[in-house]
Amino acid sequence: MNEIPLTHILFLSTALFFIGMYGLFTRRNLITMLMAIELMLNSVNINFVAFNKYLYPDKLNGVFFTLFIIAVAAAEAAVAIAIFINLYRNHRSIDVEETEQMRY
Amino acid sequence: MQRPFTIDDIAMNYSSYIALIPLLPLAAFVMLGLLGKQLSRSAGILATLIMLVSTVLACYTAYNYFFVTGKVNGVYPPVAAFHYNWLPFSPGLSIDMGVLLDPASVMMLVVVNFVSLMVHVFSLAYMKGENRFATYYAFLALFTFSMLGLVLSGNLLQMYIFWELVGVSSFLLIGFYYDRPAAVAAAKKAFIVTRFADLGFLIGILILAFYGGTLDFNTLIYQLTATNSSPLTQSPQAGFPGISLLTWALMLVFMGGAGKSAMFPLHIWLPDAMEGPTPVSALIHAATMVVAGVYLVARLYPIYLLDVAVLQIITWVGAISAFLAAIIACTQTDIKRVLAYSTISQIGYMLFALGLAGYGHTTTGYSASLFHLFTHAFFKSLLFLGAGAVIHFVHTNEMLEMGGLRKWMPVTHLTFLIACMAIAGIPPFAGFFSKEEILLAAWENNRYVFLLALITSGITAFYMFRLYFSIFWSRTRSYPHQHGEGSWTMKVPLVLLGTAAVLVGFIPFADFVALDNQKEITIPLSFSIAPVTIAIAGIALAYLLYYKYNPGPQKLALALGGLYKMVKRKFYFDELYLFITKRIIFDGIAKPAAWIDKHLVDGFMNGAGRATARFAESIKAWQSGRVQSYALYFFGGIIALAALIVYWWT
């Protein structure tokens, strides 16, 4: 069977990571920024699974970590969205510029 | 662990009921404490009945101990009737809960139970109509439990626990009338002074336990007396400044005893403790708790015998307390305070009797002391209960406002007279026999102490009959609130205690409570002449001055002038203590310490806080509020770290 080399997968995850980073820095909409963060998290997940499969195929550590990250990301998304809703109620907007008022 | 002196098969006879004696009052305390409000009037009767059961058990125990088990090899053996290994620390050292029966503890068991029962009965009438009637009985039961526990303790730490418990119940009962500021102050004073002394006691216990290797009385005594290898009994170099560790330990233990027994100079709390209800004074501050110090020294007596210096200190502390307190008692006009000082004086007798062995001639002082403790418990609680009946009748403590009471209170009058004769040492009343034994021990060991004790006994007779004549004779007054002498519950304890005060002197006490190797006490008849004469002289003087109301006492007081005033103000001890606490401790130590705390310690903390706040103020502009720039810094930092790691790695 013609296996996909590890480097391809690493390339994918790196690309995904920097796409996410680009999104995080350029977008002004908080939900879009959250989605960008999710992209970065998923790139890490791909890394974990890939290294697990290619380097230590008889172990499951990487897979477990991935599951953990997914769970944490879900919780984090819930918290983040709760914050956005409150922000929207107060400012009628979820633009990241609005949050500047929350400094000290 | 080896228990050299106890015989365990005898213990089986007792273990079934002996624990009940202290536990019954505890049950009464819990019951009255929880259900007191609902029980109200019947609370007192319930507590009294429980005390009755406990007293019967105690008498049965005494009978069993002295007559059924009897002597083994010519001595009454100590019996560990009940023993429970509570907190084991190491194979050698553990804190146990146990019951130790020996002649002294069995004697105390009977005394404490009997006096407590009398006080319970007396209080039924005396405290009638009191708002916190049930609470009062709950506290009485708590005290009785603690005192019985103290008496029966088989080891030092258990004794210390109960020692503090009696302190607490004493505090609660002195402060029973908590709406009176004087009572509150007296309660605090009693607690603080005895606590201060107990600090010494605790340190002494720790030294003894650390070097003796055990807390158990019998094992400790056995180890210290049988072997000379213990570091405690070795050369003084082991101690600090030239005094051996044993001396330190025994001195500190005695300090605890002196505090509880209101010995000079820690006596200041006892006269003030008279703010409590009078039956409480009879129980706690006359018959039982205040003799705990004597009992403590008697418990450790074989160890004290190893150290002559401490015994001599005990002798002089006791003798000086006896003398000073007797002098002060002559000038007081509050009848309870006169009795309080007479208590201090009599406990002084007991203590110097114990200490006299330090002069190395005879050890008869041991049983003389405990004999006096025994008789004193009866006649002194009788005096206090009589005073209670008088106060109940005339509604004042001032003897100057009394007089001629014999017409209204015949029973109280007669029993009070018996008690006065007993304390003055007139034969054949109880106090005569015990005081003779003490005086004889003093005569055999130290003539100076004997002389002081003899003078004191004359003064004792004088102030007791001053009290007696002022209350029951002197000028007759009319009393506005005529309600008779009191119900039978007040008279029965007086009569019973009066009978005891006549009879207990005939008990051959030294046959029951004595050291193992003590010789027979035989008092030659001629020896009694001097003490009895001097007592009669004291009574005669009191008769001249106080039998009929006359200006004699006042003239005498004026003639003595400054001396009288000094004694009347109790040698300015209270003022001295106030000076030490207020001027030296508060002004000299506490206030500078408070200043250091406020300005240096707090100042440093506040300064640290302020510096942090100022620093934060100066850098807070870095917080821009722009989330994305934070993220940028973050990634920049990560990349820098990554670069650094890669650089270092390769």
In a domain, B342, yes or no: no
DSSP string, B122-144: HHHHHTTT-TTHHHHHHHHHHHH
Highest mean pLDDT among B302-306, B518-522, B556-560: B302-306
Cα separations in angstroms, B90 against B82, B164, B204, B485, B503? 21, 25, 20, 60, 49
Touching check for A24 and chain B: CB below 8 Å? Answer: yes
Could you tell me if B542 and B599 lie in one domain?
Answer: no
Range in A25-29, B393-397, B478-482 the model is least confident about:
B478-482
State the Cα–Cα distance between residues B126 and B124, nearest whole angstrom: 6
The mean of the pLDDT values for chain B is 84
pTM: 0.78
Do residue B631 and residue A24 have CB atoms under 8 angstroms apart? Answer: yes
B502-514 mean pLDDT: 81
| pLDDT tens-place string over residues A13-30 | 999 999 999 999 999 899
Range in A61-70, B405-414, B473-482 the model is least confident about:
B473-482
Which residues from chain B sit within 8 angstroms of residue A100, using beta carbons? 624-626
The three-class DSSP label of residue B273 is helix
Query: Pick the residue with more confidence: B568 or B628?
Result: B628
Could you tell me if B405 and B465 lie in one domain?
Answer: yes
In a domain, B265, yes or no: no
Domain of residue A39: give its range: 6-102
Do residue B625 and residue A101 have CB atoms under 8 angstroms apart? Answer: yes
Do residue A104 and residue B620 have CB atoms under 8 angstroms apart? Answer: yes
Could you tell me if B622 and B519 lie in one domain?
Answer: no
Closest CA of chain A from B629, distance in Å = 8
In a domain, B433, yes or no: yes
pLDDT level of residue B6 (50, 70, 90 thresholds):
very low
Helices (H) and strands (E) in chain B, counts: 28, 2
B89-104 mean pLDDT: 79
Do residue A103 and residue B635 have CB atoms under 8 angstroms apart? Answer: no
Which residues from chain A sit within 8 angstroms of residue B627, using beta carbons? 33, 96, 99
Closest CA of chain B from A1, distance in Å = 36
Query: Pick the residue with more confidence: B640 or B38?
Result: B640
Closest CB to B635: pick one of A21, A96, A100.
A21
pLDDT level of residue B1 (50, 70, 90 thresholds):
very low
Q: Is A89 exposed, middle or buried (0-12, 13-18, 19+ CB in 10 A)?
A: exposed
Could you tell me if B115 and B78 lie in one domain?
Answer: yes
Closest CB to A99: pick one of B620, B625, B631.
B625
- Quote the percentage of chain B above a pLDDT of 90: 18
Contact B531, B426 (CB under 8 A): no
How many domains does the structure of chain B reveal?
3
Which residues from chain A sit within 8 angstroms of residue B631, using beta carbons? 24-25
In a domain, B370, yes or no: no
Closest CA of chain B from A26, distance in Å = 8
B157-164 mean pLDDT: 90
Do residue A101 and residue B631 have CB atoms under 8 angstroms apart? Answer: no
Touching check for A101 and chain B: CB below 8 Å? Answer: yes
Contact B380, B286 (CB under 8 A): yes
Contact B356, B440 (CB under 8 A): no
Could you tell me if B430 and B522 lie in one domain?
Answer: yes
Could you tell me if B135 and B30 lie in one domain?
Answer: yes
pLDDT at A39 over 90: yes
| DSSP structure class, residue B178 | T
Could you tell me if B586 and B560 lie in one domain?
Answer: no
Cα separations in angstroms, B217 against B99, B205, B243? 11, 11, 23
pLDDT at B430 over 50: yes
State the Cα–Cα distance between residues B569 and B394, nearest whole angstrom: 25
Q: Which B residues in the span 555-584 are in contact with A, Cβ-Cβ below 8 Å?
A: none
Domain of residue B487: give its range: 376-568
Domain boundary among B260, B288, B316: B288
Q: Minimal Cα distance from B633: which residue of A?
A: A25
What was the pLDDT predicted at A81? 94
Domain boundary among B547, B568, B589: B568
Which residues from chain A sit within 8 angstroms of residue B635, using beta carbons? 21
Closest CB to A103: pick one of B623, B628, B632.
B623
In a domain, A12, yes or no: yes
State the Cα–Cα distance between residues B41 and B55, nearest whole angstrom: 22
| pLDDT tens-place string over residues B210-225 | 877 778 888 888 777 7
Closest CB to B626: pick one of A24, A33, A100.
A100
Name the packing angle between helices B410-424 and B488-503 (round to 10°).
30
Which residue out of B627, B632, B634, B638 would a mutagenesis test of the A interface target, given it has the greatest number of A Cβ atoms within 10 Å?
A: B627
Which residues from chain A sit within 8 angstroms of residue B632, using beta carbons? 25
State the Cα–Cα distance between residues B460 and B343, nearest whole angstrom: 10
How many domains does the structure of chain A reveal?
1
State the Cα–Cα distance between residues B490 and B557, nearest whole angstrom: 36
Q: How many CB pairs under 8 A join A and B?
A: 23
What was the pLDDT predicted at B163? 92
Do residue B623 and residue A25 have CB atoms under 8 angstroms apart? Answer: no
Closest CA of chain A from B635, distance in Å = 9
State the Cα–Cα distance between residues B149 and B147, nearest whole angstrom: 5
Domain boundary among B288, B321, B340: B288
Do residue A103 and residue B624 have CB atoms under 8 angstroms apart? Answer: yes
Do residue B628 and residue A103 have CB atoms under 8 angstroms apart? Answer: no
Contact B308, B268 (CB under 8 A): no
pLDDT at B245 over 50: yes
What was the pLDDT predicted at B562? 78
Cα separations in angstroms, B123 against B48, B128, B259, B271? 10, 7, 27, 21
Query: Pick the residue with more confidence: B584 or B238?
Result: B584
What was the pLDDT predicted at B92? 66
Which residues from chain B sit within 8 angstroms of residue A104, using beta carbons? 620, 623
In a domain, B129, yes or no: yes
In a domain, B552, yes or no: yes
State the Cα–Cα distance between residues B14 and B542, nearest whole angstrom: 50
In a domain, A1, yes or no: no
pLDDT at B579 over 60: yes
Q: Is B417 exposed, middle or buried (0-12, 13-18, 19+ CB in 10 A)?
A: middle
Element (DSSP H or E) covering residue B120: helix B103-126
In a domain, A10, yes or no: yes
- Quote the percentage of chain B above a pLDDT of 70: 92
What was the pLDDT predicted at B472? 84
pLDDT at B236 over 50: no
CATH code of residue A32: 1.10.287.3510
Which residues from chain B sit within 8 angstroms of residue A25, using beta carbons? 628, 631-632
pLDDT level of residue B234 (50, 70, 90 thresholds):
low
State the Cα–Cα distance between residues B434 and B371, nearest whole angstrom: 6
What was the pLDDT predicted at B646? 93
Range in B142-156, B441-455, B473-487 the model is least confident about:
B473-487
| DSSP structure class, residue A98 | G
State the Cα–Cα distance between residues B302 and B306, nearest whole angstrom: 7
Q: Which residue has the tokens 């002069």?
A: B359
| pLDDT tens-place string over residues B305-322 | 888 888 889 999 999 999
What was the pLDDT predicted at B429? 87
What was the pLDDT predicted at B587? 83
Range in A15-29, B568-582, B631-645 the model is least confident about:
B568-582
What was the pLDDT predicted at A85? 93
pLDDT at B8 over 60: no
Range in B24-33, B83-92, B132-141, B393-402 the model is least confident about:
B83-92
Which residues from chain B sit within 8 angstroms of residue A98, using beta carbons? none
Name the packing angle between helices A6-26 and A30-55 (round to 10°).
160
Backbone angles phi, psi at B14, to 5 degrees: -100, -30
Do residue A100 and residue B631 have CB atoms under 8 angstroms apart? Answer: no
Backbone angles phi, psi at B404, to 5 degrees: 70, 20
Do residue A96 and residue B627 have CB atoms under 8 angstroms apart? Answer: yes
**ipTM entry:** 0.82
Closest CA of chain B from A27, distance in Å = 9
Query: Pick the residue with more confidence: B81 or B331?
Result: B331
In a domain, B250, yes or no: no
In a domain, B255, yes or no: no
Do residue A25 and residue B624 have CB atoms under 8 angstroms apart? Answer: no
pLDDT at A96 over 80: yes
Q: Which of B542, B483, B500 is nearest to B415 (CA)?
A: B500
Q: Which A residues in the span 35-94 are in contact with B, Cβ-Cβ below 8 Å?
A: none
The three-class DSSP label of residue B79 is strand
